[in-house]
Structure 1
Amino acid sequence: MGYDDTGSTGRRSEARGRRRRRPLRAATGAVALLALLGVLVLGGYAFYLQRTVANNIEHEDLMAEDESVITISPSLTGGNQPGQTDGGTGQGGGAGQGGAEGQGGAEGQDGAEGDGSTTAGEGVDAVDEDETAPIVGEDGQPLDTTGVEVTATTPSRSTDAGDAMNFLIIGSDSRDLSVERGRSDVIVLMHVNDERDRVDLVHFPRDLFVPIAGTGGSSKINAAYAYGGAPLLVQTLQPLVDVPIDHVVIVNFESFRSMTDAIGGVEVQVTEAGGGFDVGTQHMDGEQGLRFVRERYSLSQGDISRGERQMQFVKAIMLKALSRDTLTNPVRLANFVDAATTNLTVDQNLQVGEMRDLGFSMRDVRGGDIHFWQGPWNGIDMHPVAGSIVLMAPDQMTLLSEHLRTDTMESYADNVSPRSGFGG
């Protein structure tokens, strides 16, 4: 009987096949395990970042619900109180006597730098930079607004805007908002378009002279924050731009310093020399950045030029934060997130999950997608009581409002606001 090798050969071939497939299956399993570990690490890292944000940020009542009442009170202002100067308390809540006397001319030089033609009236007691400007009536005289109640309202949202969002960003020098409001040295409206691929930042000069909501008077726009905190500033800004402000964020100046240092410093395009900074690209650490954005007196257009510098610095931070050097470096990114959210206060309705989702939806935004504008203005003047003021350009403000309402900022242009003095 002959020997049939077919079965044994088949079994040996099958065995060899199994031996060949084992390493393949093992390799596939290893890759799958590594991929799973990678997902877990990334997920854990994302969870760590979210927990960091949740632990760092503070929630405050920065926005008033419709029909609620905002009571004007200067009790939490920074610097001197409204109506108070270094020399004492003024009359009727105005610029006061004593400390401010004789300062009108100096304030005029600061505000009118660029043409030198605007000076304060002789003998005028105008507030200086460290004072809160009073709210004045049509006759130019201070109004007593303490205790005045302002009813909150919100403009309607245009259907043309889709899911576009508007954030009010306030830069404050207060270290503890529960103790003092501090001064709103930076006021920026951030418009995020419906497609989440464009961001427009509109800087409103702190000395922009505007109607203060519910008071029947006008003052520098940062006086709204001084007298009624973020809620009154929201109510003052919304009628100018005629769009609802969705959220409010207050950033302490210390955050600018720590954010800058966390990402290894930034490259800033300086367009006007002054305060120890030359024109051109300058590398700045956090301390240098603070000096850069706070400088005012050596610049050609005072508060306007300072606003331009603030936007240059913010852009430098955003570009560095969105760069591969930051996004692909877990340690640097974690440090930046920690620094950015420490000393950060947001309104009561802005939750961490919404912040995360918005950030994810904007992950493809790069430097060329971020655009900066000045709040429309057409000159600098000296008010006999409020001091140096920036004059609003009403028609251009209306045009800005139309583009914000319809989410068409890509076609917005401002040929009204003066550009001289910026060096480019």
Structure 2
Amino acid sequence: MAKSEKPKPKRRSPLWARLCAILGCVLMVLSGGALITSQALVARYAGAVKTENLFEPPAEGEKKEPVSDIKGPVNILLVGIDPRDENSAPLSDSIIVVHIPEGLRQAYLFSIPRDLRVEIPPFAKTGFQGANDRVNAAMSYGSRLGNGKYDAAQGFALLAKTIAKLTGIKKFDAGAIINFNGFKEIVDAMGGVTMTIDQNVKSEHLKPNGKPRDRRPECADHSCEHPYVGPQAEYKKGTYHLEGWQALDYVRQRYGLPRVDYDRQRHQQQFIKAMAEQALSKDVVTNPIKLDQVLRAAGDALVFDGNGHTVVDWGLALRNLRSDDMTLVKLPAGAANGGGTYIGEALEPAADDFFASLRDGTVASFLVDNPSFLQKL
């Protein structure tokens, strides 16, 4: 890591640009307060994003809803995965819901713990009958094509049904599968990212030089919880300028952290904010070559479904949101036990009240009355 730096003053960067950073933004960024709307440039970068149908189509005989303007309230489902080939079942490593109320002037982001025990509904495409399992298994159950092949986009549809059942959200208005290794390419294209590390962390996966740690021979079958040996990359509390591999490695870690996956969720949110801030810096927006590299890398980082709207449509719809309008929410949860054995995580009853506030449009007042739901960064 580079030498520790003093934290820079906060800048008011537009939330739509932050959301676009999460989505692998292919829109233009703000330069001197003016949105660049060159149709040629918009078409160029919009074309870099891979689009697929991520949501289950209407059931037979069910009327398909017409595509309408993006006015809110809207809900966006973002799923981060480590890259896997079609011969490996995808697991949702990070699940983030973005709720934007009517008027598109506020945004609320909350993470679903990957080990949360939930009811996963049946899925006809794969013959899955439904089960009570950890939420990150839903994508795997839904992605099965047969003959040892898997499709992450198909798995997303079952995960979306699962999150809808959990939260009571009737439908998601957009969704994206995010390749976290793609974020590494974005950070490298930007020349690194300045990020504040809030706790000391040791890497389970990488050596100090960024190379993979050695695997213990007896763990070749992936059966060990801690299969690696040798020197570890370390991340100390403070503010540093990180290379892409360092930033990605840091936000992947959960072993050895006091609150395990909950700490990792917070680190991922911090990374997203730091990455967006870097993308909007003068070092990027005034350098055409670097900007081109960043936006093209972002386009390679995701698969997007805007339910009839493009990434450009979504970026323009959210262009008036500001960073101060973004609220990060943490759901109250703890260990779930079955027969005295840890089987995952469980939400506390108060989480249902939060989900109800999303549905009835009272989330702002709910958070005023329940400040413990606010994520402290």
> What interval of TM-score do these two structures reach, taking the shorter chain for normalisation?
0.5 to 0.7
Q: Quick one: higher RCO (CA 8 Å, sep 6+), 1 or 2?
A: 2
Q: Which of residues 50, 53, 56 in structure 1 aligns to 2:46?
A: 53
Gaps spanning 5+ residues in structure 2: where? 1-35, 65-69, 123-128, 143-154, 203-233
How big is each residue's C-alpha offset from its partner over 1:355-381, in whole Å with a ceiling of 9 and x where there is no partner?
21321233343432222122x233124
Task: Find out whether 1:203 has 2:161 as its counterpart.
Answer: no
Q: Which one has the largest radius of gyration?
A: 1
Over 3 Å counting, the alpha-carbon distance change for 1:281 and 1:412 in structure 2 is farther
Q: Which residue of 1 aligns with 2:257?
A: 299
Which residue identity lines up with residue 162 of structure 2 in the other structure?
A: T
Over 3 Å counting, the alpha-carbon distance change for 1:377 and 1:390 in structure 2 is farther
Q: Which residue of 2 aligns with 1:164?
A: 73
Which residue identity lines up with residue 298 of structure 2 in the other structure?
A: A
Alignment of 1:5-404 (within 5 A): 44=38, 46-54=39-47, 56-67=48-59, 163-176=72-85, 178-214=86-122, 215=129, 217-228=131-142, 229-243=155-169, 244-275=171-202, 276-323=234-281, 325-347=283-305, 349-352=307-310, 355-374=311-330, 376-383=331-338, 388-394=343-349, 396-404=350-358
Alpha-carbon distance, 1:257 to partner: 0.3
Alpha-carbon distance in 1 for matches of 2:184, 2:164: 30
| TM-score computed with the length of structure 2 as normaliser | 0.66
Over 3 Å counting, the alpha-carbon distance change for 1:253 and 1:378 in structure 2 is closer
Alpha-carbon distance in 2 for matches of 1:320, 1:173: 23
Gaps spanning 5+ residues in structure 1: where? 1-41, 70-151, 155-160
Counterpart of 1:184 in 2: which secondary structure? coil
Which residue identity lines up with residue 76 of structure 2 in the other structure?
A: F
Over 3 Å counting, the alpha-carbon distance change for 1:416 and 1:48 in structure 2 is closer
Alpha-carbon distance, 1:227 to partner: 0.7
Alpha-carbon distance in 2 for matches of 1:378, 1:191: 20
Over 3 Å counting, the alpha-carbon distance change for 1:368 and 1:236 in structure 2 is same
Over 3 Å counting, the alpha-carbon distance change for 1:53 and 1:384 in structure 2 is farther
How big is each residue's C-alpha offset from its partner over 1:94-152, in whole Å with a ceiling of 9 and x where there is no partner?
xxxxxxxxxxxxxxxxxxxxxxxxxxxxxxxxxxxxxxxxxxxxxxxxxxxxxxxxxx9
Alpha-carbon distance in 2 for matches of 1:327, 1:195: 29
How big is each residue's C-alpha offset from its partner over 1:62-112, in whole Å with a ceiling of 9 and x where there is no partner?
11023269xxxxxxxxxxxxxxxxxxxxxxxxxxxxxxxxxxxxxxxxxxx
Alpha-carbon distance, 1:335 to partner: 2.2
Alpha-carbon distance in 2 for matches of 1:345, 1:312: 22
Which residue identity lines up with residue 245 of structure 1 in the other structure?
A: F
Over 3 Å counting, the alpha-carbon distance change for 1:236 and 1:343 in structure 2 is same
**Higher helix fraction: Structure 1 or Structure 2?**
1
How big is each residue's C-alpha offset from its partner over 1:352-407, in whole Å with a ceiling of 9 and x where there is no partner?
3xx21321233343432222122x2331245469955111123x222222332244
Counterpart of 2:201 in 1: which secondary structure? coil
- The answer to whether the 8 Å contact 2:173/2:307 transfers is no
- Identity among equivalent positions (%) equals 29
Over 3 Å counting, the alpha-carbon distance change for 1:386 and 1:238 in structure 2 is farther
How big is each residue's C-alpha offset from its partner over 1:19-73, in whole Å with a ceiling of 9 and x where there is no partner?
xxxxxxxxxxxxxxxxxxxxxxx665x423432331x22222311023269xxxx
| TM-score computed with the length of structure 1 as normaliser | 0.60
Alpha-carbon distance, 1:184 to partner: 0.8
Over 3 Å counting, the alpha-carbon distance change for 1:381 and 1:418 in structure 2 is farther
Q: What count of residue pairs does the alignment treat as equivalent?
A: 286
Which residue identity lines up with residue 204 of structure 1 in the other structure?
A: I
